[in-house]
Amino acid sequence: MGRAFVYVILGGGVAAGYAALEFVNRGLSNGQLCIISQEPVAPYERPALSKGFLLPQAPARLPSFHTCVGANEERLTPKWYKEHGIELILGTAVKSADVKRRTLLTATGETIIYKILIVGTGARALKLEEFGVTGSDAENVSYLRDIADANRLVDAMQSSPGGNAVVIGGGYIGMECAASLVINKINVTMVFPEPHCMARLLTPKIATYYEEYYKSKGVDFIKGTVLQSLDFDSNGKVTAVNLRDGRKISVDMVVVGIGIRPNTGLFEGQLTLEKGGIKVNGKLQSSNSSVYAIGDVAAFPVKLFGEIRRLEHVDAARKSARHAVAAIMDGDKTGEFDYLPFFYSRVFTLSWQFYGDNVGEVVYYGDMSSGEAFGAYWVSKGQLVGAFLEGGTKEEYEAIAKTTRLRPGIEDLGELERHGLGFAVTV
């Protein structure tokens, strides 16, 4: 026999922290909840790792960014969990799960029994090895998923003052880390296969704006090619990267952000999977009624789009966590999760938000060259379905969020263009 809990959260990331707060707000009793995490620290706001954590002056360090400060809520320190009778089992990986027997087996050999399991195992960073390149264990190669990775990246930056970094990948990690490297006075070359950065979200026109801004900060872009191999010195440090197009770039450090894979391994063959994650219903409940999934690992129905999506963003992690706990504690009173996808980023002095879906025709507004707010709407099948805004005010961001949720009918794209941001503000 092992320890038994009414509720167990597997994973101690963003979603776990917000779920814990929701449990407490809804009257959790002492000893009912346990959180098991392979990370050695209590849940924290992961977005800080590519932003405040990497600043050269007064960088953010724990305990300052434990959840749930990112949503302007209470900061849940280890003391908070103790005071609320929540068992935090840290630095402990779960090695296997048996959903029929409702048990988890930890790497320390302990069996944990649950009535309800909430899976919040998040995702792991894809490794270069998965693309046929070896050597990513070198001390000057960094990934960025957890605190250990972030500390390693900080060490690499501090060992390379004024040096050269190559950033592999033009997605979120690549763009945010490149900005942080520049702020740390490191020369940056970004390498990615697409014709422009953030290709899955941004249009070429918007992406060009950000690339030009990065270029003005000294960042070089090498697009349309990928890493072929790494060169090492006799100490095993990477000295150069070789690209498939034949170029060789000397480096002091390499940062890799080439995507993630959800951590579903424990449940393969036991739960229904979809879109690379654990398929759940509108109550975040999986194909086994005792198991819920939240955050990056959950593939849930997005009512607005009428389809199952898996979203790898912090707002979805926070809100799916809260909804799952509401559904667990309040049963029938809790309706279906009705989520409006929301992504954002902040780099240098730039800041953007995106709501909804980026499908259909694009209508731009604002003047990108003026240094003032600009953005775009996406219109699909006669409805406004997505909105992007750079440099907006709080009220303007709220307006594009509200408008996107309403999905207003758009008959005349020209008129929408003429109204621009004013359209959202007056809807």
Among 315, 357, 358, 387, binds ligand FAD (CB under 6 A): 315
- Give me the least distance between CB of 144 and ligand NDP, in Å please: 8
Can you tell me the distance from the alpha carbon of 235 to that of 230, in angstroms, rounded to the nearest whole number? 14
**Beta strand pairing call for 187-192 and 227-232:** unpaired
Nearer to ligand FAD, 146 or 423 (CB): 146
Give the DSSP per-residue string, 92-126: --EEEEETTTTEEEETTS-EEEEEEEEE---EEEP
169 touches, from ligand FAD, ligand NDP, none (C-beta below 5 to 8 Å by class): ligand NDP
Nearer to ligand FAD, 16 or 190 (CB): 16
Quick check: 58 and 82 in contact, CB under 8 A?
no
Does the footprint of ligand NDP cover residue 193 (CB under 6 A)? yes
Can you tell me the distance from the alpha carbon of 158 to that of 14, in angstroms, rounded to the nearest whole number? 28
Can you tell me the distance from the alpha carbon of 320 to that of 165, in angstroms, rounded to the nearest whole number? 37
Give the DSSP per-residue string, 318-346: HHHHHHHHHHHHHGGGS-------EEEEE
Interface of this chain with ligand FAD, residues 10 to 69, rule: CB under 6 A: 11-16, 36-39, 46-47, 49-50
410 touches, from ligand NDP, ligand FAD, none (C-beta below 5 to 8 Å by class): none
CA distances from 41 to 7, 36, 372 (A): 20, 11, 40
Collapsing DSSP states into helix, strand and coil, what is residue 297?
Answer: helix
Query: At residue 368, what is the residue type?
Result: M
Does the footprint of ligand NDP cover residue 13 (CB under 6 A)? no
171 touches, from ligand FAD, ligand NDP, none (C-beta below 5 to 8 Å by class): ligand NDP
Among 164, 189, 285, 345, binds ligand NDP (CB under 6 A): 345
Does the footprint of ligand FAD cover residue 317 (CB under 6 A)? yes
Quick check: 154 and 53 in contact, CB under 8 A?
yes
Query: At residue 276, what is the residue type?
Result: G
The tokens of 58 are what? 């007064």
Among 184, 263, 353, 403, binds ligand FAD (CB under 6 A): 263
For tokens 């002056």, name the residue: 57
- Give me the least distance between CB of 142 and ligand NDP, in Å please: 12
168 touches, from ligand NDP, ligand FAD, none (C-beta below 5 to 8 Å by class): ligand NDP
Site size toward ligand FAD, by CB under 6 A? 35
Stated length of the chain? 427
Cα-based angle 186, 192, 193 (whole degrees, multiple of 5): 170
Shortest Cβ contact with ligand FAD: which residue?
A: 13
Nearer to ligand NDP, 173 or 321 (CB): 173
Does the footprint of ligand FAD cover residue 313 (CB under 6 A)? yes
Nearer to ligand FAD, 106 or 228 (CB): 106
Task: Identify which range of 8-16, 23-31, 133-141, 284-292 contacts ligand FAD by CB under 6 A.
Answer: 8-16
The tokens of 158 are what? 């501090």
Among 170, 301, 356, 420, binds ligand NDP (CB under 6 A): 170
> Using alpha carbons only, how large is the chain's radius of gyration in Å?
22
* Residues at the contact surface with ligand NDP, assessed by CB under 6 A: 50, 131, 168-174, 176, 192-194, 199-200, 226-227, 257-260, 312-313, 343, 345
Contact residues toward ligand FAD (CB under 6 A) are 11-16, 36-39, 46-47, 49-50, 93-94, 120-123, 144-145, 263, 266, 295-297, 312-315, 317, 343-345
